[in-house]
Amino acid sequence: MDKDRLHELKAEASQLKPVMNIGKNGITETVVGEIKKHLKADHLIKIKMLKSSREEKDTIAIAEELSQATASEVIEIRGNNVVLYK
């Protein structure tokens, strides 16, 4: 992905509200299924990582795991939020 497209996606993502929260149960099949459904509908989504989800792994590790499980790209990690694009 080129820098211009990445910049456009980041700008678009700043206006998004998180479509779901990941909590203490972490990444489950249900969570992955819901994320895939949202990605299919919207292509660009924001996910919030609750503090309880980050006890064992950090936000970057969770984002990479989500990206692999949903065959999507991590566009941005800002604080506790992750933006995925497919």
Which residue, among 49, 41, 39, has the nearest Cα to 71 in the 3D structure?
A: 39
Predicted local distance difference test score (pLDDT) of residue 1: 80
**With 90 as the cut, is the pLDDT of residue 57 above it?**
no
Number of domains in the chain: 1
Residue 82 near residue 67 (C-beta atoms within 8 A):
no
Q: What is the CATH number of the domain that holds 72?
A: 3.30.110.60
Domain that holds residue 24: 3-85
Task: Give the Cβ contact number of residue 3 at 10 Å.
Answer: 7
Residue 20: pLDDT over 90? yes
Q: How far apart are CA 77 and CA 66, in angstroms?
A: 12
Cβ atoms of 62 and 82 within 8 Å: the answer is yes
**CA 73 to CA 86: how far, in whole Å?**
6
Mean pLDDT, residues 9-13 taken together: 95
Q: How confident is the model at residue 53 (pLDDT cuts 50, 70, 90)?
A: confident
Q: What is the pLDDT of residue 56?
A: 80
